[in-house]
Amino acid sequence: MKKRTAFAMTAVLLLGSACGGTGADGEPAETVDLSSLYASMETEYGWEEGYMADIEGDFLESYYPGLGAVPAKQLIAKTPAMSSDVNELVLMECEDSGSAEDAAAILQNRIDTQAGGGAWYAESMEAWEKAEVIQQGNYVAMVASATHQTELVEDFNNAFE
């Protein structure tokens, strides 16, 4: 119950920071702090410290070829540090809509590769088949979670309401 309350309070703060809907160009009028959004997810889903690790450097290029070259204002890429759980998350604010489309294509390629056999195990490939890439203006997310897929997608989308 305390986790739900903490999550609700964080969501209210995030929504407050994203108020204003969209600008004249259809892009979000305000920025969404992806670090705060991720922190609320971490709390809500019980990802204790050390469970999720950053995907960066050579690993970023290996997982998502070309993503590091996409101009980004914010980028969070996480996966379980020592677990076979499918629980991979990318949250990204790109410089412009073209960059967001490029990022979305790269992230969709990751999903397709993992679902097509890259994840090795039938259960893991099934989880990857349910993974999604979501775009909100210049913001892009990739959510692949065997246990919290729907909720994580909703969390991302709710940050823009």
pLDDT of residue 45: 95
Q: Would you state the structure tokens that stand for residue 15, as one six-digit string? A: 């929504």
User: Is residue 120's pLDDT more than 80?
Assistant: yes
Helix (H, G, I), strand (E, B) or coil at 56: coil
DSSP, collapsed to helix, strand or coil, labels residue 88 as strand
The model's pLDDT over 11-29, given as tens digits with 9 standing for 90+, comes to 433 334 443 344 444 544 5
> Comparing 11 with 84, which gets the higher pLDDT?
84
- Name the amino acid, one letter, at 142: M
- Cα–Cα distance, 120 to 147 (Å, whole number): 18
pLDDT at 84: 81
Displacement of CA 133 from its chain's centroid (Å): 8
Rounded to whole angstroms, the Cα distance separating 159 from 12 reads: 9
Above pLDDT 70, what percent of the chain? 82
- Interatomic CA distance for residues 143 and 51, integer angstroms: 16
pLDDT of 83 over the 90 cut = no
- In tens, the pLDDT along 26-71 reads 544 579 999 999 999 999 999 988 899 999 999 999 999 999 999 9
Give the closest residue to 55 by CA, choosing from 35, 76, 69, 38: 76
Pairing of strands 139-145, 132-136: antiparallel
Closest-CA residue to 74 (of 43, 109, 37, 102): 37
Q: What angle do CA 9, 38, 118 make, to 5 degrees?
A: 145
The pTM assigned to this predicted structure is 0.82
